[in-house]
Structure 1
Amino acid sequence: MALLTPQGVKKVFQLQKPEGREHLRRLLNWEEFDELRDSRRSILLDTLYESIIFAVGKGFPWVEVAQVVKFTEELLKETKGCSITEAVTILGNKLRDYQGQLNTTHLLAQCDYFHNTFIRHYKLYQYVLGQDQDVKLTVTHLEVYVPPQPLPLAAGKDQAVWKHEQRVVELSAAEVQKRAYMLQLKEALQLEQQRLLQEMLGAPRWQHQVLKREELENLISEAIHIQIECLKELLQYEIQITFDILDLKLQKKTLNLNAPTPSPLPVTGQSGQDEALNLYKANKGRKAKAKKM
């Protein structure tokens, strides 16, 4: 382990945690490593960093803070592969070895710290730091879509005007959809009519080479009946869809007559005032016409 100086650990503490951990890594002369792939070294660095935070929080002088980091690293190495009883013995021996470097109060605080962290979770430390881990890491690159650049405020619209325009667009789209549905329905009914006629003509009773007059009349009658039924169904659908389209047109007409008036922009000069007055009169006229309807 590199010899940490009081100035070095002081700077580690003063930095934010990510920068402080990175500075501590450089002070320890560790090579750069992947935090995700080398989790053991990452956890070890966290443990050493937390020992600095503990010592500073307890009021250790900077010289003793550096000794605490050294103590922590030595303890982790010497207890590797040991039982918890052996680890407690090693901890006690090391505390006695550091009696000349830490005062009694700080030594007791350090003893409590390692008992409440390292010894209490000893098996976890041994599992993470004492044996190789089979790391299965999956990295997924996600594409981040930033929000679009907003339009200038001058190009904005009143909320009421925007809602009105959106409603008109919805009604127009619904009308187009109704008309498209009508065309699809006509095609479907025509295909159904052709299928029924083919089934009728393919029936065994009409397979004679020469049909009698009565049979021919029945054949024509059935064909006419099929066409009438299909036409009746088509007319029913057309009437219903036509009413729906007329209702949509009426809604659009009503909306246009009651269209909200956008907030007038500040006007200057006589021409601007005249334009605002004309706009007000036109809107008032539309509303009066809507009430009469």
Structure 2
Amino acid sequence: MRTLRGRKVLEEEQVPGGGGSAVQKPRHNSSRGATCWLPFRTLRPQGREHLRRLLNWEEFNEQTDSRRSILLDTLYESIIFAVGKGFPWVEVAQVVKFTEELLRETKGCSVTEAVMILGNKLRDYKGHFNTTRLLALCDYFHHTFIHHYKLYQYVLGQEQQVDLTVAHLEVCVPPQPLPLAEGMDRDLWTHKQQVAALTEAEAQKRTDMLLLKEALLLEKKNSLQKAFTSAMPAQPSRVLERQELESLVRQAVHIQMAFLQELLQCQIQNTFAILDLKLQKKTLNLNTPAPFPPPITSHAGQEEALKPHKVSKGKKAKARK
């Protein structure tokens, strides 16, 4: 009867919050009460956030304020325990109050003193819980709080120096794989890569030859300009002598011949290199690996391939007759 009344009516209780504040829980009907506690039975982050708002705690950083975060976890776990054991909703609030009082009163005490404080508080709360739930509450705090008492004291009983290092790491996801239908055999892929490399090298050779030709033309132009400038008389009205003109012509012919000789030599070397690349590519194309699995020929194609063989057999049979 008490359980049903607790589910229907959530009596006005005070749950101590952070900084000495308290949450007033007014009367609600059963649907409103169930809605109030529903987040505690769903996802943990939402349940913790709902509990923080009920306790009137200000928002805090989970990483820097680890003590408050652990305290909120402890209160949240006590609620999960009480709800899991079937405590009425009004008694769930008492469990939260019991937990916070126990944590506050045992701060700085020894294990023996903490056990005595736990026993005294259980006797004080006899009017709030029946014997079965009181024993369940005693067993819960014995296996959680008392069993890890030194850890609770270390975390909640003294100031902690937080040494926090935050590093922002960029995670690069793997590229989207190509469709399997576009895949090919490894040997065939290697062959195509080699052919592509040879084709690229051939194109690079042709480009290098064009650049070299332009450089030689520019060098020839500068050399001729320099020769003409040095041969020009100091006075513009003076005409070049025959010997000076012949020397200028010989110098220009020499520059032109040197240019043609170097250009022809480079073209011959580049042509041999291109022919060698073409030969390598031709050799690779002659040794193209067969695709795996081999292509499946149609039934009609197989019949076409067998027709010459059948015709030759028919001619041999007629010749024997």
Query: Secondary structure at 1:3's aligned position in 2?
Result: strand
Q: 1:261 to 1:86 in 2, by over 3 A?
A: closer
- Once the two structures are superposed, the pairs formed by residues 192-231 of structure 1 within 5 Å of their partners are none
Letter in 2 for 1:104: T
After superposition, residues 236-255 of structure 1 pair within 5 angstroms as 250-255=283-288
Q: C-alpha deviations, 1:29-76, integer Å up to 9, x for none?
A: 111111111111111111001101111111111111111011101110
* Aligned equivalent of 2:191: 167
Q: Distance in 1 between matches of 2:293 and 2:101?
A: 79
**Partner residue, 1:55:** 82
Q: Which has the larger radius of gyration?
A: 2
3-state SS of paired residue (2:160): coil
Alpha-carbon distance between aligned partners in 1 of 2:194 and 2:137, rounded to the nearest angstrom: 72
Q: Are the counterparts in 1 of residues 185 and 291 from structure 2 also a CA contact under 8 Å?
A: yes
| Residue 106 (str. 1) matches residue 133 (str. 2) | yes
- Report the 3-state secondary structure (helix = DSSP H, G, I; strand = E; otherwise coil) of the residue aligned with 1:143: coil
Please say which of residues 19-28 and 57-66 is displaced more in the overlay: 57-66
- Please list the CA deviations of residues 69-103 of structure 1 after superposition, one character each: whole Å capped at 9, or x if unmatched: 11101110111111111111111111111111111
* Matches of 1:125 and 1:72, distance apart in 2: 13
* 1:83 aligned onto 2:110: yes
Deviation of 1:159 after TM superposition, in Å, equals 2.7
Query: C-alpha distance in 2, partners of 1:4/1:21?
Result: 18
Q: Corresponding residue for 2:10? A: none
Counterpart residue number, 1:118 = 145
Which residue of structure 1 lines up, in the alignment, with residue 319 of structure 2?
A: none
Deviation at residue 112 of structure 1 after TM alignment: 0.7
| Count of matched residue positions in the alignment of Structure 1 and Structure 2 | 200
1:33 aligns with 2:68: no
Q: Is the 8 A contact 1:161 1:262 kept in 2?
A: no
1-structure distance, mates of 2:34, 2:293 = 70
Q: Tell me the equivalent position of 1:143.
A: 170
Q: Could you tell me how far 1:10 is from its partner in structure 2? A: 1.9
Report the secondary structure of 2:184's partner residue: helix
SS, match of residue 104 in structure 2: helix
1:91–1:168 Cα change, 3 Å:
same
Q: Distance in 2 between matches of 1:102 and 1:261?
A: 76
Of structures 1 and 2, the one with the larger relative CO (CA 8 A, separation 6+) is 1
Cα distance, 1:8–1:126 mapped onto 2, change above 3 Å: farther
Alpha carbons of structure 1 residues 261 and 124: separation in structure 2 relative to 1, 3 Å: closer
Matches of 1:103 and 1:166, distance apart in 2: 79
Q: 1:68 to 1:167 in 2, by over 3 A?
A: farther
For the pair 1:3 / 2:30, whether they are aligned, the reply is no
The letter of the residue matching 1:32 is E
RMSD: 3.7
Residue 96 (1) aligns with residue 123 (2): yes
Equivalent of residue 72 in structure 1, options 99, 102, 111: 99
Q: Specify which of 20, 42, 47 is matched with residue 20 of structure 1.
A: 47
| Aligned mates of 1:76, 1:174 — CA distance in 2 | 77
- 2:40–2:46 CA contact under 8 A, matched in 1: no
Pair 1:127 & 2:154 matched = yes
C-alpha contact (below 8 Å) 2:107/2:157 kept by paired residues:
yes
Contact 1:158 1:262 in 2 (8 A): no
| TM-score after normalising by structure 1 | 0.58
Q: Distance in 1 between matches of 2:293 and 2:131?
A: 82
% identity of equivalent residues: 61
The whole-number CA distance in structure 1 between the counterparts of 2:293 and 2:38 is: 64
- Give the whole-Å Cα distance in 1 for the aligned partners of 2:157 and 2:288: 76
Q: TM-score w.r.t. structure 2 length?
A: 0.53
| Structure 1 unaligned regions, length at least 5 | 178-242, 265-276, 282-293
8 Å CA contact retained: 2:191, 2:284 = no
Q: Measure the CA separation in 2 of the matches of 1:90 and 1:3.
A: 25
Residues 51 and 72, structure 1, Cα contact 8 Å, conserved in 2: yes
